[in-house]
Amino acid sequence: MSEDLTLDEFQQVEPEENSEWQESNLDDLLSDLLTGSRPTGGGLDEGKYISIGGTQIDSEGYIDLHDLVYIPDNYFEQVQETQLQKHDILVVKDGANTGDVAIAWESDDRIVTNEHLFTLRADSTINPPYLFYFLLSHQGWKQINGTITGSAQEGINRGFTGKVDIQYPSVSEQRKIATVLYTVDRAIEKTQEIKDQLKRVRDGVRQDIFYRGVQKTGFKRTVDELKEIYLGTIPKDWKLRRVNDVCSHVVDCPHSTPSYSEEGTPVVRTSEIEDGRYYPEESPRVDEQGYQNRISRLEPKPGDVVFTREAPIGEAFKIPEGMRLCLGQRLIQFRPEEGVLDPDFFIELLYSDMIQSWFERSARGSTSTHINVGDIKKMNIPIPSIEEQYRIVNILGGFRKQLDSEQNLLSTYKCLKRGLQQDLLSGTVRTIDTNIEVPDEIAQHG
């Protein structure tokens, strides 16, 4: 199997050629269906044994060990049967991500599950990684999602396994299919790691730049050339200017939900902005009348900066050339003064530690924190000369180009994975590479 996977490596088949595939109820393919619990009063902040739940399962199929909760040693004996084993498949029972699925690629004696997870253990009929990828696919997700009950507290019960049907070929082909998808997952992981490392380096460089600036000579400013302001330390020759003095417009978004249409102009939502980048492919659309309604205060144009003031606070992007869009809710539109505030510099400034810290201190509200438009307008921000702004953008822009490249590669891999899941797990296409080497992570029972 080649390192750079494409659909060309697989052979399309007609439905009648697919006769050796079987369909079974999920319940008939399991040796165990378990669920855990937690001690009364919750867990501990530290300890030997970790209790994981729905918050540790993400939509991509990974177990994310963050915000960990520990349990007492004596309680571990009560939930020991849920101790994480290699190829355990975890399904979220309730909460915001009900139905999300993950797999344990290795055993971990420290980890048990709580009452918000089901642990599925496959019998010898089916390869566990194949079963995981099937449940993770759209075919599997749709069936699991269809078993959700309740309104105030949605969830799935133990009976969900009797309502999900699994299609599968021979164990040998199951392993090959799982290997292909596992290989793509490793490419996704590797690309994400590169992207994360780039971000860490970029963030360190950015922090230093907004501390000492970038002089024309290339030399760093000395301590004597710095000054303290309410945001932190900046170069002495940088000016403090109010946002509404360096932007010709600072405009709040319409406080209403638009009527969406199948086609038309993208409506930017806060969830589609991340780390200076906007993902328009995820945006809903409005027709021309809807667009005109959304731009009554100010029509967005290339070079404007769009900023999230709530859910989450502090994300931003610059509208690129050739893009037509309008704002959804919880957004602010800035139009930087030409020759005074460079839009790309403004983006980098908004993501700097000093400004992000100010957002945290200035956020209002308890259930849904937000930044008021009036506070943003009056905020004093450090402004270097336009020439130094360009030098800063030149340095940090190099990181942004690299990050964009890695993000594009990541999107390509994820798109490939979706296509492979759809076609390989339905038997629409079959691998023609009979020499696929099945790794240990895949080749267990089943």
pLDDT digits (tens, 9 = 90+) for 298-340: 999 999 999 999 999 999 999 999 999 999 999 999 999 999 9
Q: How confident is the model at residue 179 (pLDDT cuts 50, 70, 90)?
A: very high
User: What is the predicted pLDDT for the residue at 113?
Assistant: 96
Confidence of residue 41 (pLDDT cuts 50, 70, 90): confident
How far is residue 206's CA from residue 342's CA, in Å, rounded to a whole number? 16
Tell me the whole-structure pTM to 2 decimals: 0.85
Instruction: Give the range among 4-18, 299-313, 424-438 with minimum mean pLDDT.
Output: 4-18
Using CA atoms, how far apart are residues 348 and 78, in angstroms rounded to an integer? 51
111-113/117-122 β-pairing: unpaired
Q: Would you state the pLDDT for residue 89? A: 99
Most confident of 41-50, 324-333, 420-429: 324-333
Taking only the tens place, the pLDDT of each residue in 82-106 is 999 999 999 999 998 999 999 999 9
Domains with residue ranges and CATH for the chain = 22-168 (3.90.220.20), 251-362 (3.90.220.20)
CA–CA distance, 428 with 17 (Å, rounded to integer): 10
Angle between helices 353-362 and 343-350 (to 10 degrees): 60
Q: What pLDDT was estimated at residue 44?
A: 85
**C-alpha to C-alpha distances, 353 to 230, 233, 305, 390, 432, nearest whole angstrom:** 13, 11, 19, 20, 52
Identify which of 230, 206, 211 has the alpha carbon closest to the alpha carbon of residue 222.
211
CA angle at 48 for the pair 43 and 52, rounded to the nearest 5°? 50
For residue 116, what pLDDT is reported? 96
